[in-house]
């Protein structure tokens, strides 16, 4: 049986990726901080693990424990956090959290798992963002920078490990209907065609993961058919 480690498994895109992997008979160690009870009850192939990704010592211990139980075939760095607004109005804690979760944790997890992934001829799939490809992320400078870093890491890692048979993929979704915009002053427009569904992003991961042998889909960019966002009403 194949084994995957998926971060951000408790909601949104990550939850759909776990469902997709379990559907293929892949056992998933899903990392998050808050799981609802029914998620673990759905299948014994899903093992929820509570861990704050910004706690490097806890993360390292956790991965060592998993590797002592089983080799790991697939790593999906999906967890992310986003704060928007003029850069001057962010604070150091928010900046630190975005760098730790969006960039540092994927680098550390990849390092800890790479020997197993090479032995298994496995895959690393990083959920980046279309913002990684934009040079002007007004009011999202720091978030965009973390995602650009993740995409840069993904491309370099592919060059390093392609000869070992490891697939390395960056997925670049645009607006997707999840809770990611909880801290933003905007959200997805209601029109279905103005935002992607988490299931669509999970399908892109599936496509990359099950690509023909000898072919690596290194980059998938997903955009909704129409461009529109909603400004949230200001709280009084
Ligand atoms: N939604 C979009 O429009 C969009 C577009 C492009 C890219 N993305 C990327 O897609 C990925 C998934 O985000 P989403 O849209 O599905 O948002 P989401 O529903 O808010 O999911 C974020 C996930 O990350 C986990 N997470 C955040 N901070 C964590 C921490 N410190 N420790 C452990 N887990 C943590 C959350 O777990 P807990 O809640 O349990 O802590 C949650 O499972 C992110 O990398 C995001 O940047 C999203």
SS (H, E, C) 83-134: CCCCHHHCCHHHHHHHHHHHHHHHHHHHHHHHHHHHHCCCEEEEECCHHHHC
* Mean pLDDT of the chain, nearest integer: 96
Q: Please state the atom number of ligand 1 nearest to the C-alpha of residue 175.
A: 3
pLDDT tier, 236 (very low <50, low <70, confident <90, very high otherwise): low
What's the pLDDT at 235?
65
Q: Which residues pair with 167 in a beta bridge?
A: 123
Question: Is 164 considered catalytic here?
Answer: no
Res. 37: pLDDT tops 90 = no
The residue whose CA has the least distance to atom 6 of ligand 1 is: 129
Res. 199: pLDDT tops 90 = yes
Residue among 144, 48, 50 at smallest CA distance from 99: 144
Lowest-pLDDT range of 39-43, 65-69, 209-213: 39-43
What's the pLDDT at 41?
83
Res. 192: pLDDT tops 90 = yes
Ligand 1 binding pocket includes 14 (Cβ within 6 Å): yes
CA separation for the pair 51, 146 (Å, rounded): 21
Q: Please state the atom number of ligand 1 nearest to the C-alpha of residue 79.
A: 24
Residue of 29, 143, 164, 181 marked active site: 143
Res. 77: pLDDT tops 70 = yes
Ligand 1 binding pocket includes 175 (Cβ within 6 Å): yes
Ligand 1 binding pocket includes 179 (Cβ within 6 Å): yes
- pLDDT tens sequence across 213-231: 999 999 999 999 998 899 9
Res. 99: pLDDT tops 70 = yes
The residue whose CA has the least distance to atom 25 of ligand 1 is: 8
pLDDT tier, 8 (very low <50, low <70, confident <90, very high otherwise): very high
- pLDDT tens sequence across 100-145: 999 999 999 999 999 999 999 999 999 999 999 987 888 999 999 9
- pLDDT tens sequence across 153-172: 999 999 999 999 999 999 99
Averaged pLDDT, 179-195: 92
Ligand 1 binding pocket includes 33 (Cβ within 6 Å): yes
């Amino acid at each position: 049986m194949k084994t995957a480690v998926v971060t951000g498994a408790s909601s949104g895109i990550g939850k759909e990726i776990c469902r997709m992997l379990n559907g293929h008979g892949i056992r998933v160690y899903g990392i998050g901080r808050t799981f609802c009870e029914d998620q673990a009850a759905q299948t014994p192939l899903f093992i929820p693990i509570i861990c704050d990704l910004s706690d490097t010592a806890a993360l390292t211990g956790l991965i060592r424990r998993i590797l002592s139980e089983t080799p790991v075939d697939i790593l999906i760095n999906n967890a992310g956090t986003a704060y928007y607004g003029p850069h001057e109005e962010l604070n150091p804690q928010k900046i630190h959290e975005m760098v730790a979760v969006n960039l540092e944790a994927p680098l550390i997890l990849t390092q800890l798992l790479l020997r197993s992934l090479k032995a298994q001829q496995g895959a690393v799939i990083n959920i980046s963002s279309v913002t990684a490809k934009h040079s002007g992320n007004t009011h999202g400078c720091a978030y965009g920078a973390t995602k650009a870093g993740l995409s840069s890491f993904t491309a370099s890692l592919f060059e390093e490990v392609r000869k070992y048979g490891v697939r390395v993929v960056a997925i670049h979704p645009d607006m997707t209907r999840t809770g990611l915009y909880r801290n933003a002053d905007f959200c997805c427009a209601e029109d279905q065609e103005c935002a992607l569904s988490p299931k669509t992003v999970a399908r892109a991961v599936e496509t990359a993961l099950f690509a023909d042998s000898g072919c690596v889909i290194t980059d998938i960019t997903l955009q909704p058919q129409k461009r529109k966002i909603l400004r949230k009403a200001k709280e009084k």
